[in-house]
Structures are given as structure tokens and as C-alpha cells.
Amino acid sequence: MAEPRSRIYHRSRVAETLREEIGAMLEGELSDPRIAVCYVTEVAMHPGNKSARVYIAVNGDEEAEKATVAALTAAKGYIRHELLERMGVRRVPDLSFHIDKTQKFNARIEELLGRSKRRQRFAGGENSESAAQPEPVTRETN
């Protein structure tokens, strides 16, 4: 059975509010030295709004990503308490922090597509490029 649109709309609004508030906390309120420069890319709410996955993008290597996730998991209680006060709701969903790898995947796909385009250009050789370009037209005057 399909879920009512109002429930889906409410879930998306709550997710957007969580994304904004957690992002604001990451920008300056959390002072753990393990937290690298990062931002919230998406918050995915589970049906029933009891839990949410917070996807973050970290500027750094894998070690910085792991340290940041560990620090955010350790600060989960503080983050939920702050969200409770800021949002003015009865319950804040249980949060789980995950690294957003879509940017890395997109960069890798772009790299592979660029390689294949270059291979196609070089495999076709110079003949295919010259055949694609029309010869210049000259005017004859009488």
C-alpha cells in the first residue's frame, strides 16, 4: 500500500531541518579535534521517523573520515539533545553517521568516461577527425 503524501512530505521536511541544524553544529559548535572539515550532504529518514542516517562528506583521507565518524558517533547524545531544544519536538530520531561516497564515485566515473573518449579518439586515428571536418570553401571570381 502506498504511503500518504502528507507523511512523505513531513518526513522530507524533518530530514531537511535535521540536515540544516546538524550542518550548523558541524560548522562551529562541535570542538572535537577528531572532526575534520566536513558537511552534511543528506539525511535519510526511515519510515516512522524513529531513526535517520546522516551522510557526511569529509575533506581528507580515509583516516580523517574514520576519525570524524567516530567523533560524531561519540557526540551523538549531545547532538540529539541540541536538536531536541532547537526543533522543539517530542522526539528526535536516533542518528547514525555515514560517509557519503557519491562524490568519489562520480569522480571515478567521470575519469573512466574521459579515458574511454580519449581511447575512441585515438583508435579512430587522424582519418576520422579529418573526415568529420569539412573542407574550406573558396570563392571563385569571374
pLDDT value, residue 124: 76
pLDDT value, residue 17: 93
CA separation (Å) from 11 to 7, 85, 122? 6, 19, 50
- What band does 77 get if pLDDT is binned at 50, 70 and 90? very high
Decide yes or no: CATH 3.40.50.2020 for domain 5-100.
no
Per-residue cell: 28 = 562551529
Query: How big is the CA angle at 20 (ends 55 and 83), to the nearest 5 degrees?
Result: 95
pLDDT value, residue 132: 54
CB under 8 Å to 113, separation ≥6 — which residues?
none
Per-residue pLDDT of 80-117, as tens digits, reads 999 999 988 889 999 999 999 888 888 889 999 998 88
**In the chain, domain spans:** 5-100
Question: Nearest Cα to 55, choosing from 40, 35, 68?
Answer: 40
Sort residue 12 into left (φ over 0), alpha (ψ -120 to 50) or beta. alpha
Per-residue pLDDT of 21-71, as tens digits, reads 999 999 988 888 899 999 999 999 998 889 999 999 998 889 999 999 999
Residue that wins the pLDDT comparison between 123 and 55? 55
Mean pLDDT for the stretch of residues 7-23: 91
Helix (H, G, I), strand (E, B) or coil at 16: helix
